[in-house]
Structure 1
Amino acid sequence: MDESSERTSLHALLQQAVLAPSSHNTQPWLFRLNETEQVVELLADWQRALPVNDPDNRELHISCGCALFNLRVAAADAGLSLDWTLLPKPETPNLLARVHIGRGENETTLASLGDALIHRRTWRNRFKPETLSAELQNALCEVARAEHGHVRLLLNSELRQQVVELVKQGDSLLWQNESWRDELAQWMHPGRAGDGLTVPRLVAPLVRGVVRHFDMGKSMASQDRLLAEESPLLALLSSDGDTPRDWLQTGQALQHLLLVAQQQGVQASYLNQPIQHAQLRPQLEQHIGAQGHAQILLRLGYPDDRLPASPRRPLDDVIIE
């Protein structure tokens, strides 16, 4: 393979890796390429951290783990073998993983997820009142377990209601925080900005001003309560530990789960408010009986429409040589 072909191949894989979800659509990843050796290094982009919403960079690492899993799927779909290693260490905290293309094994079981990778969306509206089959529910648990994650399905109505109450409390506590509202507003952009939460260009300044200056915790809590209560399935994804390595593994488990769900027409969104607030996270873990540390709280179901893709930064912006 000549140098031009090598570049094209790596760039094609990364074009799919960056379709991963991220908090506020910050896309907090960078990729360093060694095209001669066919090596991709995944790095954290600290300039895209959310110090108020995510003070420990936990969600940042989870998002990067999702991008790493997408890279694995893209390689498998292209018939390429790869060898990947998680690398977060105190002395090099920004270097998260190293991937060697053309070494190791071809993860053939992931190849079938290529189409789901392209079409996965975050569905923030009401779902159809259609339940997920027991077979699919079991599959979601199994694929998360394959990536060292644990999924607890919230099937008990009383338990679901306890979790809904924690989501409402989380909304109230987060929206009371002016710094949190300001950070959220900073990531509200017109769609063509390439990142952030999309709002129409003409009203973007107004929307950001409202978010910054008004505590909408009560209305958001009411809205999220309805979404949670009416969702066909709620699920908690947890990890054994609570370190950068665990968060990266959580990201891979999350993305594997999301893509398997997407294969069956199921989409998801997040109810992470009680995990994002330090006082509520232990309560959530206790109520649910989480195995390890709570990382992601999901609502899943069948959407009633098709959404456009969220904006993405130009690939050249996330590649460093």
Structure 2
Amino acid sequence: MTSDSAALIQSLEENIGRVLLGKEEVIRLAVVALLAEGHVLIEDAPGVGKTSLAKAIAHSFNCQFSRLQCTPDMLPSDILGSSIFLPNKGEFEFRAGPIFTNVLLADEINRTTPRTQSALLEAMMEHQVSVDGKTYPLSKPFFVLATQNPFEFEGTYPLPENQLDRFLLCTEIGYPSREAERRVFTSHRSGEPVEKLNSVLSTEQLSGLQQQVREVKVDESISDYILDLIEATRKSRELSLGVSTRGALTMYRAVQSLALVEGRDFAIPDDVKRLASPVFAHRVICSGVIRESQRNRARIIIQQMIDTIPVPN
């Protein structure tokens, strides 16, 4: 890792931190997902900074930003776009939807129907959109930050496990500390601080950092440690669904990304420990636990596995 790369990552985190005060770990996880070319799902109450986080990321590398307020009547074409017939030309013209952007905030994704959810998540996975038999590539870089309110269940369509598996990690922001909230008062006196952010890196520099992630060394012992943890989720009596192969590859890439963000060109066991809960908890199903308390129980079970599985030297 070069000093230039370290400086760029530090600048990116500091820039986002000017908007999302006192949430260093949340910012780091978001940056890890961004550099690993993954997507983030945030489960939290309204008004804790989810939109500000997405906007701050977009402003930090001077790119296109779109926001979707998901609703039950939203159609796939409202996201992907549609072909419009032009009578004067006698032909159809494709009008791109809001998904053709660099950073997409899908707010309250569990409020829209499974059909629309699938259209969005397929685009996230394939990095392309198919409309009327034609395929359109999405912009690069492409980063989705989706949100859902875990405390509201009426009129929602919870994401099924195969769609949750598309997100690199799932986390929450939480309420700020008293001191951080006091600083929020000051920073908002003259308007939204996110609108005053300057970009600190270009899309080309971001793409370069994403390529460096793939070059981070992961020792065979670290790979075995990841596989031991995944095998434990599949054999656990407390889980009816363990981590998928996609989840295993996602963890591998996330570990590489965290190592780079931490200033290393090699992964260590602590990277796996730190990422286990945000990368795995939304991918498993707990036995005999109601859906509303799935995530918290999954985090506890995964932490117990981390505490018992031998750590490589």
**What is the TM-score of this pair, normalised by structure 2?**
0.25
**What is the TM-score of this pair, normalised by structure 1?**
0.25
